Structure 1
Amino acid sequence: MTPATPQPRWSLQDISFDHIQKERIVQDQDWFYLLAGASFVESLADLYAHNLVAYYDDNPSAQHWLGREWEPEELQHGRALRAYVLAVWPDFDWEAAYAAFERAYRPLCADGLLGPTKALEMAARCVVETGTSSFYGMIQAASPEPVLRDLAARIRADEVHHYKYFYRYFREYQQHERLSRWRLLRELLRRIAEVDQEDSFLAIKAAYETHNRGQTFSRADFDAYRRRMGNWIQRYYPFEMAVKMLLKPMDLPRLLQRAAVPLLTRKARKVLAN
């Protein structure tokens, strides 16, 4: 029997786009590039989802959840962020910028980039959901505009929910694969190193070059942008929560976990804020 398709926890009609206080955010170009870039990445979720659905052809439950819940919710995040960006910056050619991002990023999403085992890919997805839930938690805390805070809170809640599903499926596969903590750690560190690198650069580059015709967005420009974001990260990023989520697949003994969290939190704060 095919599981019922779950109902979304919210819709675009729940977001008060007509009540956005534009004056609080419209002059801040860093917010523009951050939100436009995020809308592009979320809007390409169908590509990620199709790759994962094909990879988990041995697991109808996972395939159903990925295709019927995870993908629609990720695409809704993209539509909601797009609507917010265009409500605040209506002259932005979103479609042209998204097309430029998709052309640059699609070749990087090959099936071969998935994890070498089913459990490792689910653990890697936990890393990605940790990053996205933390990212939207930061936006929620840092936002100067109330409607954006509401939208970010809704997306963050979805990403935490997605993490729980990926973790559940990881545990199912781990019962059979019985990967060592060292093997898991290597995969988690590899995926952590990949998170928020090429996709962020290409998304912001597409937004910048569409918004500023004839100008080029370089790696040096991206590095400068990341340095400006360092202040937000230091003040608003939920470091401790992120570390706990990342460590969960490792299933560490309680005493070791308790000792590791503050040490890794301090390390993460230094790395991410630089």
Structure 2
Amino acid sequence: MTEGPTPDWRDALPWPGEDAHKHARGRLGVVAGKASQTGAARLAARAGLRIGAGVVRILCPPDATAIIASAIEAVMLTPFGSAEALAEAVEGMDAVVIGPAAGVTDATLTHVRALAGTGAALVVDADGLTVFEGWPTDLFDVLDRDDVLTPHEGEFKRLFPGLLDLGREAAARAAAKRAGAVVVLKGPATIIAAPDGRLAVNDNGVRWLATAGTGDVLAGMIGGLMAQRMDSYDAARAAVWMHAEAARGFGPGLIAEDLPDRLPQVLAALYSQDR
């Protein structure tokens, strides 16, 4: 299914009611990497906040605390020193993003596994995918249908070697079934596949998104919608579409930092259409 001008996920967008409060709007966690690589997590966290999650918290190694604290405002911050402490910090969260600049390390492996046991819906991106190259079933075994994987083609090949020979759509559908989770195969025409066989091809791709960090923003957007209890497949489709619309509204010169602050305009247009 190709997304049209009025995609059906619009009906599921989690607009707040008159009695809404921040905790009712969902709690999102974003796991940061080491002190020298915190920008990706900050991009994801800001995107999750902009797309409507009521509370967003970055979870970071202790040595990154001062660096992140000086660069955030409404986003909260919790340091953790072990996988057990990370799982405790996630208690009560609705969704967690892990992978953007997390590091291709044993620690990232351990953190993904720890998060999988918390009950939070996961968005696994970037290093959180690459770290499972060679043993992808170790990742698939801890996922469930509410989790989302967001690979570009290189990361997809590491987790699903040979599947792209089937073509992008068939490969994404087979990957989602194999992983038991939603798969977002990024590209000029991003494909979103659910483990139950549902598939959508996003048709509003924008060339200006071909710049570093935009994937981190997308991961945060998906996580932010999932934190608001939007179905993971619908959340992925909605975020991919809005991500491209935000980029289209900015145009040439776009960098990843521009995207979160373009989301209010995209959301306002959708909201006015739904009234």
Give TM class, smaller chain: under 0.3
Structure that is richer in helix per residue: 1
Q: Which has the larger radius of gyration?
A: 1
TM-score by length of 2: 0.24
Structure that is richer in strand per residue: 2
> Which structure has the higher relative contact order (CA within 8 Å, separation 6+)?
1
Q: What TM-score results when the alignment is normalised by the length of structure 1?
A: 0.24
